[in-house]
Amino acid sequence: MEGLIKGLIDVAIGLNHGGGGDDDDSHSHSPSHDEHSRSTWAEVVSGEQQDEDEMIPPRRQHNDHHRHNGGQIRNQQNQWSTTGVHESNQEDTGRWQHDYDENKKGGAAEISDCWQTVQSKPSRKPQKVHLDHGDAYKRHPSEQEYSVEVEDSVQLEPSEEELADFSRACNKLWELDFNRLVPGKDYAIDCGEGKKVYSKEDMAAGSLFTWLGDDVLRRPTFSRFSSLLDNYNPHEGYKEVVTTEERQEQAAFIEEISRTAPIKYLFKYLSSKRIISENYNEFKRFLADLWFTLYGRGGTSGSSSAFEHVFVGEVKQHGEQEVSGFHNWIQFYLEEAKGRADYQGYILPRRRGQYPDSETQLLTIQFEWNGVLKSVSSSFIGVSPEFEVALYTLCFFAGEENNRIQLGPYDVNVKCYRLGNKIGSAFPVAED
């Protein structure tokens, strides 16, 4: 065990202390490709100008309206006072800061009275989400227990066809995602009704997630991923303070996912292409640096990271507030369960008849997060954390800005934007 995780000890001790653009102010002054492309992609969705970064919905037929009755996260009628969305950014920032500070103290409330919404409607009662790890993940990585490592096999070796065809390599990651959830068995979603990007009307009577299996967030990679989500200040441009315990959580997460098939395949693929060395401990340090090293965004150095932007989400402070990033279903589920995310409906596809249903695992939606609107957002549903880390890392190092690939039943364009030598943003877009 000590030999296997030896390389992570350096990560746990030294991560986020600079290097690789950590404190490079030039990142915060030079706009990324992500920022340049948002209006263009919204035009693809709606034909209008829009300042967002996602696109179009998936290709699944709207043929399944089955709803599970158990464990629903909706229709608990509580009256809430509706606060205007146009309160000052300074006041909103203070509210977010309060919850962030409470998380840092380890005493975050389920939901506070200050959450606000664009639309006036009955709130969903916040749900208790039980994460069983406690402080176990905050210990030194060498003192923690991990799941059994997936054995190397021919299945994990990239074939000549996969090395020659980037789309095949990405699809192999989909096939190797043994932890991907099964709709109707592990969880259920209710897509509600469709809407256009600029519609302010809430087209969802309830939550997106109607239930999630009790065991899902206890799975090792899911559980460790969830433990990282409350480590960040959501306001873009606010310098992050990373504690030693949080660095150890990061290092332990990398160790956990490095035992899975998608990450092992990623390593073999990148090393076969001579993008990285053949030392697996160096590869784990490489992953930790890519995803967790802080860089500048919103005018402040050390205020963001690939993990925070892509998976947690950030709130822009320039002009009218808006949500940026936030492309992960686990984060959405947890924030929705706490009453902080309000699902508003899916974005209507350009072609009629191609609507999402309860089986869809690539979804384009609209929602509010702490009263701030995300006009259009796309993400996978039910995939494992290791799959997303592997896919976006592969696209960053072996792909391009637009990566049009096949993932199982989905034609996808994985958008991957650089911010210096880091991932500025990455997310999937369903293609017609």
List, by residue number, the catalytic residues. Answer: 309, 327, 374
Residue 10 backbone dihedrals phi, psi, to 5 degrees? -65, -40
CB 27 within 8 A of CB 295: yes
CA torsion sign for 75, 126, 327, 97 is positive
Q: List the structure tokens of 293.
A: 């090293």
Cα 151-154-155 angle, rounded to 5 deg: 80
| Cβ atoms < 10 Å from Cβ of 420 | 16
**CB-CB contact of 358 with 184 (8 Å):** yes
Q: Which residues contact 47 (CB under 8 A, 6 or more apart)?
A: none
Which residues is 426 bridged to in the sheet?
416
**Kind of pairing between the strands at 194-195 and 341-347:** parallel
User: E strands along 325-399, which residues?
Assistant: 341-347, 362-369, 372-380
Query: CB of 346 within 8 A of CB of 57?
Result: yes
End-to-end CA distance of the chain: 47
What pairs with residue 235 in β-bridges? 315
Candidates 76, 87, 84, 173; CA nearest to 123 is: 76
Q: What are phi and psi of 378, to 5 degrees?
A: -120, 140
